[in-house]
Amino acid sequence: MSRKDNSTNKIRIVKFILKKIETSKPEIAAELGLSMPTVLQNVKELVQSGLVIEAGKYESTGGRKASVLSIVGNSKHSVGIDITANHISYVLIDLCGCIIAKKRLKSTFKNDPAYYESVADNLEKFLSENKSDRTKILGVGVSFPGIIDKQNETLVRSHVLKQDHLSLRSLSQLIPYPTAYENDANSALIAEMKYIDTDMIYLSLSNSVGGAVYTDGKIYEGDHRRSAEFGHMIIETNGKQCYCGKKGCADAYCSAEVLLRYADSLEEFFMKLESKDKTIQKVWDEYLDQLAVLITNLRMAFDCDIMLGGYVGGYLKQHMPKLCKKASVYNMFENDTLYIKNCTYEKEASAVGAAMHFIDSYFDTLN
């Protein structure tokens, strides 16, 4: 076996262990179609490197007990930063994608040196507060609402931040770790990917509406990196004014801002909803009507599962029966709505996904 083949098998094995959380050598061999000697040798090397641990034994099925294999999550860390118009979120994750620490700060975006310096300074404070071992940090991923040219570290366009062709290198220079950039909705989908086994549409319902398309095991970005701009699909002809200048965009009906006109926070909005506030109930009912239309349009276009995420997505689980009932009215092809999924990360998904860039790169370069 060539060194390249061995490296490829090692990457496949470690990613399989990561996705399964816990597994065994026989399961790896069976699921990946590898010979047992190949699995044994690669697992031995992974254990010796400190990346994989044999954490106990499975119950015997009549023969020798198989070892329980899992990733040593704390061996490396990655940082994610999510920058929005009014907040900055920081997360520290381990190799398994588990959140070690998180912090959210109010901060209005400004394209000036003082703002970028505050992002970098608060990163160092965040790491210090959590006694982070700097030698374990693989890198810092940063998510922005907008179109990202990752190779040239440029925010090509962001309606939300009111920026065009903004170089992000001035921020990179202030961060003393490898840095990478990604769109916020793509980042949120990346955070969810280890839980996804099929094609998926990710619909982000935050202060703006966005999304991402996951197909054939990767994110589809489109010819001009503008795929999944679901917030600017017209769902109401000559309807409500959108911040982009058009009328009737999904963003004007389905963003968190629609709900925040009636409360200081989403938490307060849903508390009012639970207390049977009639005004809030009416607003919520209308919100779900429009969301059901948007979901159905996406189902008609892509014919795959749709995951609801973002700020509002984190509150939707207990309201799914009502939403699904509304969506079923618009869908002429199917009665069930099992294709509508709740997100796993109810908060900080974009920051987690941004951090995952360096986790994935780390596993991809194993040899």
CATH at residue 44: 1.10.10.10
Please tell me the distance from the alpha carbon of residue 147 to that of residue 172, in angstroms, as a whole number. 18
Is residue 28 located within the same domain as residue 115?
no
Residue where one domain finishes, among candidates 24, 45, 71:
71
Domain end point (choices 71, 86, 111):
71
Q: Are residues 133 and 252 in the same domain?
A: no
User: Looking at residues 56-72, what average pLDDT do you find?
Assistant: 71
Q: How much is the average pLDDT of 153-174?
A: 95
* Domain identity same for 276 and 320: yes
> How are beta strands 137-144 and 67-71 bridged, if at all?
unpaired
Residue 180 has a pLDDT of 97
pLDDT digits (tens, 9 = 90+) for 18-45: 988 899 999 999 999 999 999 999 999 9
Model confidence at 85: pLDDT above 60: yes
Closest CA to 185 of 150, 212, 166: 212
Same domain, 165 and 233: no
The length of the chain is 367
Element (H, E) at 175: none
pLDDT band at 325 (very low <50, low <70, confident <90, very high): very high
φ, ψ for residue 203, nearest 5 deg: -110, 110
The band of 60, judged by pLDDT with boundaries at 50, 70 and 90, is low
Average pLDDT over residues 262-287: 97
CB-based contacts of 273, cutoff 8 Å, min separation 6: 280, 281, 284
Nearest to 86 by CA among 103, 115, 104, 106: 106
What pLDDT shows up at residue 194?
Answer: 75
pLDDT tens digits for range 234-254: 999 999 999 999 999 999 999
Please tell me the total count of domains within the chain. 3
Whether 40 and 173 map to the same domain: the answer is no
Residues 28 and 144 grouped into a single domain: no
Q: Are residues 151 and 252 in the same domain?
A: no
CATH of the domain at 164: 3.30.420.40
What is the distance of C-alpha 174 from the center of its chain?
25
**Same domain, yes or no: 210 and 317:** yes
Domain range enclosing 38: 3-71
Please give the Cα distance from 81 to 140 (Å, whole number). 7
Give the pLDDT confidence score for residue 6 in this predicted structure: 58
Q: Is the pLDDT at 69 greater than 80, yes or no?
A: yes
pLDDT at position 1 over 90: no
* One domain for residues 185 and 212: no
DSSP character for 130? T
Task: Examine the fold and report which residue of 52, 71, 90 is the final residue of a domain before the chain moves on.
Answer: 71
pLDDT digits (tens, 9 = 90+) for 185-234: 999 999 988 778 789 999 999 989 999 999 998 899 999 888 999 999 99
pLDDT beyond 90 at 344: no
Percent of the chain with pLDDT over 70: 96
Calpha distance 327→292 (Å, rounded): 5
User: Are 274 and 225 in the same domain?
Assistant: yes
**Both tokens of residue 84?**
């929005």
Q: Which of 318, 316, 307 is nearest to 353 (CA)?
A: 307
When the pLDDT of each residue in the chain is averaged and rounded to a whole number, the result is: 92
105-117: average pLDDT: 96
Q: Model's pTM, two decimal places? A: 0.86
- Give dist(CA 89, CA 140) in Å, integer: 12
